Amino acid sequence: MKHTRIYLYSFLVLLFSGCSHQLSQQQFYVFGTLVGVSIWGLPTQQANEAINVITKDLHLMHHQWHAWNPSPLTDLNQAIAAGQMGTLPDPVVLQKAKNFYTQSDGLFNPAIGQLINLWGFHQDDLSDNQALPSPEKIADLVALSPNMDDIDIEGNHISSHNRAVQLDFGAFAKGYAIDLAMNKLRQLGVQNAIINAGGNLKIIGQKGEAPWVIGIRHPSGTGILAAVAVSGEESVITSGNYERFREYQGVRYSHIIDPRNGMPAQGLTSVTVIARSGALADAASTALTIAGLKHWHRIARQMGIKYVMLVDEAGTVYVNPKMAERVQFPSDKKPRIIVSAPLN
Ligand code: ADP
Ligand code: MG
């Protein structure tokens, strides 16, 4: 896993080589992943100070939304489980989650924290070959139907009439965090930047005269599947089953859980969404992974997504026509590509 990250980062560094005099870069570890920030066209000291500010911000957000280490979110979850009222430092995050829940027909459902925990994903190290949860336990939790409509927000007061609700923002926290961090960079005078949180990436501006060029990871876990040029304000977010998964008796179980049956999503190995908002692109990439080849198109339209690329287990790539115009595949490793009907 670490090698993949190093490979991806070296690839990006290579893309930038030749212009390093204008490029300030730092890497740090937060949100359980390596985060790289690159700023173009500012004096090094100013760029580094700006990166230091968002490094602190990202650590704070990671703490506030942590789903299992003691955090404001776990405090809220305890209050909900006890049938009491709770709070969050930034309740806007909940309103966003509610909207994405509705737009995705409930496939993006950050109220299923108990199911995610049941599958053993509320821990940092997933390499212990832990036994699978029993079908009865899964069915019991699914029957309680925890969802975002159960939650009421009144000002700073948050409550749920369903005590089975347990919030887990893992599917969109990184996307939202890079939105907020990018806003902060702008306030600090940055006009051209990339924030890459382990494959969840947001850019503003461009790299000198040229757009930023992003590598999208190959779902095999090594190398780059495709490259895409981005500029203005865009987020490129990939959900994949190659990074966080559990393996039991040779079978791989994704950390993306289908709220309808409580089972790990199957069928797609990687889903990339490009959108202005990182939070939206992140929530959508998770929802489309569950929607699968049959329903992704409808869910993407409902969520207002304009660019999607999906990869199935056979390695076939599916793109909408506008995405097809943007992605570039290495000429020696071109996959089978199927272009869908337009999204809009
Ligand atoms: P990554 O963190 O690798 O970018 P995702 O954005 O797809 O991957 O988020 C997966 C995480 O989202 C899981 O680890 C879990 O915390 C949470 N999650 C799993 N299934 C769902 C779901 N159906 N709706 C919302 N959140 C989910
Ligand atoms: Mg996501």
CA of 172 to the centre of ligand 2 (A): 5
Alpha-carbon distance of 65 to 102, in angstroms, equals 21
pLDDT of residue 16: 46
Alpha-carbon distance of 292 to 310, in angstroms, equals 9
User: In the numeric block, which tokens belong to residue 192?
Assistant: 């051209």
CATH number, domain 1-261, options 3.30.70.360, 3.40.50.300, 3.10.520.10, 3.90.550.10:
3.10.520.10
In the chain, what are the domain boundaries?
1-261
Q: In 3D, which of 20, 3, 36 has the Cα closest to residue 203? A: 36
pLDDT of residue 242: 66
Report pLDDT digits (tens) over 250-309. 888 899 999 999 999 999 999 999 999 999 999 999 999 999 999 999 999 999 999 999
Give the chain's residues under pLDDT 70.
Answer: 1-21, 128, 241-243
Q: Is the CB of 110 under 6 A from ligand 1?
A: yes
Q: In 3D, which of 200, 205, 223, 159 has the Cα closest to residue 8? A: 223
pLDDT of residue 208: 87
Ligand 1 atom, smallest distance to 109 CA: 24
Query: What type of residue is 146?
Result: P
- What H or E segment, with its residue span, contains residue 341? none
pLDDT of residue 179: 98
pLDDT of residue 344: 79
Cβ(259)–Cβ(100) under 8 Å? no
Model confidence, pTM: 0.93
pLDDT of residue 130: 76
Considering every ligand atom shown, identify the ligand nearest to the alpha carbon of residue 169 and give its number: 1
From 71, 94, 114, 116, mutation site for ligand 1 pocket: most ligand atoms within 8 A of C-beta? 116
pLDDT of residue 252: 85
pLDDT of residue 307: 98
Alpha-carbon distance of 327 to 344, in angstroms, equals 18
Sign of CA dihedral 273, 279, 284, 286: positive
Beta strands in the chain (DSSP E): 23-30, 33-40, 151-154, 157-160, 193-197, 200-205, 212-217, 224-230, 232-240, 245-248, 251-254, 257-258, 263-264, 268-275, 307-312, 317-319, 327-328, 337-339
Residues surrounding ion ligand 2 at CB below 5 Å: 171, 239, 282, 285-286
Alpha-carbon distance of 325 to 307, in angstroms, equals 10
